[in-house]
Amino acid sequence: MNKESIKKELSDKHNSFIDYINSLSDNDFIYKSNTTKWSAGQQLQHIYLSVRPINIALLIPKFILNFLFGKPHQNRTYEELVVTYQKSLFNGGKAGSQFIPKKASIGKRKILIDDLTGLIKS
């Protein structure tokens, strides 16, 4: 999968997510049940924190990424990447500390949406 395909797929998925977040009431945005890990607001913050380094990586020339991280073992589709990610979560994978959101607040909703939208467009 090339950079442009990844960018397009991520952009489409994140725009759908933002539409969903915008459709939530303030109460639904901050609601967290005993059975859910994060509220919708925290999910938004997690996505924002996760997209920032991806944007940086997409700007770095391929040869530098290969030097820093090695060549990819295989070319995977977006769907294959999602399956790998979901398997990792199922097997107990957890977000690194830099990607764990703080408590969501209604006041930060628009800021996070605007910031994520800006990252997606860049």
**Domain boundary assignment for the chain:** 3-121
Query: 73 versus 39: which is more confidently predicted?
Result: 39
Task: Kindly indicate the confidence band of residue 81, based on its pLDDT and cuts at 50, 70 and 90.
Answer: confident
| Beta carbons of 111 and 36 less than 8 angstroms apart | no
Give the helix, strand, coil percentages of the chain, each rounded to 5: 70, 0, 30
Joined tokens for residue 86: 């979901």
Output the pLDDT for position 23: 96
Output the furthest CA–CA distance in the chain (Å, rounded): 47
Residue 54: how many other CB atoms lie within 10 Å: 13
Express each pLDDT in 30-53 by its tens digit.
998 877 789 999 999 999 998 888
